[in-house]
Every structure is written in structure tokens, then in C-alpha cells.
Amino acid sequence: MSVKNQIKALPTNADVLQIISTQPKQSQIQNGENTETTIPTFGVEDGTKASYSAVIKTGKGDISLTLFGKDAPKTVKNFIDKAKSGYYKDLTFHRVEDWVLQGGDPKGDGTGGGTMQTELNDLPFIEGSLGVARRDDINVSNDSQFFVTKSEASHLNGKYTNFGVVTKGMDVVKDMVIGDKILGIEIEDK
């Protein structure tokens, strides 16, 4: 298959949103038992929604997101809690490459923030995917640094937490440079 045909075969943001909205609750095996994973209650609703909406405010415009609550519940809860607390206000995007935009580091150099357990899922990293930075250990992710893919990034599939997608503002993502500030992240309670 030619590269052009492979690119056409990649799922779009709308395709991923459709897949997410029709998926049943995520199940895990813990101590030999099958347990359903749902988002804990944290003031948005009762935690059973498949997705949540967020907007990253920047000086260059807004980046609208859909967060995948059923696919990465702990990550989504953490992101929403940090956003609502104002944690991200005035932090910068410290990594900008042809394929990725990364921010949310309190030190501003890629070394800051705490850790949390990685939540791997089957979602592909397409243009506009929202992921979590992580350490060398695949099981340990950063608890504050997030990234947005500027293009398809299949090399991340199954190795990083994929917890959302850009629904509007990819032009803003692609216009960002190192040092651009996050003015805040708003969570849209519906």
C-alpha cells in the first residue's frame, strides 16, 4: 500500500469519537477478577460519561478537546482536577517539534511534575490526539505534562496514555512555539 493510501486509511478525529461513544465500559483483570473501570465522581457528573469537553486557552487561540473518560478514567480525572484548580495557568509549552506539542511542566523544561500509573488503551495516536508524557518505565506517566500530536504518530500506540482528541483548534496547535503560555484550561460541564 502506498504512503498516500495508508494516510487515507488512518482514522479521523470523528472516527475515533464515534468508536469511543459506542464502546462499552473498559474492563480490567485484577487479581484474576474482571472489574469495570469508570471515572470516579469529581464534580463533573456522576462519572459515567464517555467523554468530557475541555478548552486550552492560549494567546494564539483556543484548543477544544474531547476527553475520553471511559478509556483513561484516572488520567481524565487528574487532568480535570488540575485544570479546575488552575494548575496549568501560565505554564508553557516547552517542547515543540514537527509532530508534537507538549506542555504542562511546572519547571518548563520537561523534568517537572509528579507521576501516576500509565493507562494504556487501544486508541490510535492520530493527528490531534491528546497523550500523557511518561518516564522510561512504560508503567509510569507524568501527572501534569500532556502532549498533542500534530500528525499521525503510530509509534506511540500502546506505549503512552491516549486520553483525548482535539475537536477544534489544530491550527492553533500547529502555530505554537516553545515558550507560548497556557492561559488556562477550562472544563465544560454539560
pLDDT tens for residues 127-165?
999 999 998 999 999 999 999 999 999 999 999 999 999
Q: Please state the φ and ψ torsions of residue 45, each to the nearest 5 degrees.
A: -160, -145
CA–CA dist 106, 21 (Å, integer) = 33
Residue 185: name the closest of 42, 112, 76, 110 by CA: 76
Q: Which three cell numbers stand for residue 29?
A: 483483570
Residue 24 pLDDT class (50, 70, 90 cuts)? very low
Query: Quick check: is 41 in a domain?
Result: no
Query: Quick check: is 39 in a domain?
Result: no
Query: What is the count of structural domains for the chain?
Result: 1
**Contacts of residue 167, Cβ cutoff 8 Å, sequence gap at least 6:** 13, 17, 53, 64, 65, 66, 128
Query: Quick check: is 161 in a domain?
Result: yes
Query: Quick check: is 37 in a domain?
Result: no
Instruction: Report if pTM > 0.85.
Output: no
- What range defines the domain where residue 173 resides? 3-23+46-188
Query: Quick check: is 30 in a domain?
Result: no
Handedness of CA 182, 105, 185, 18 (dihedral sign): positive
Query: Quick check: is 35 in a domain?
Result: no
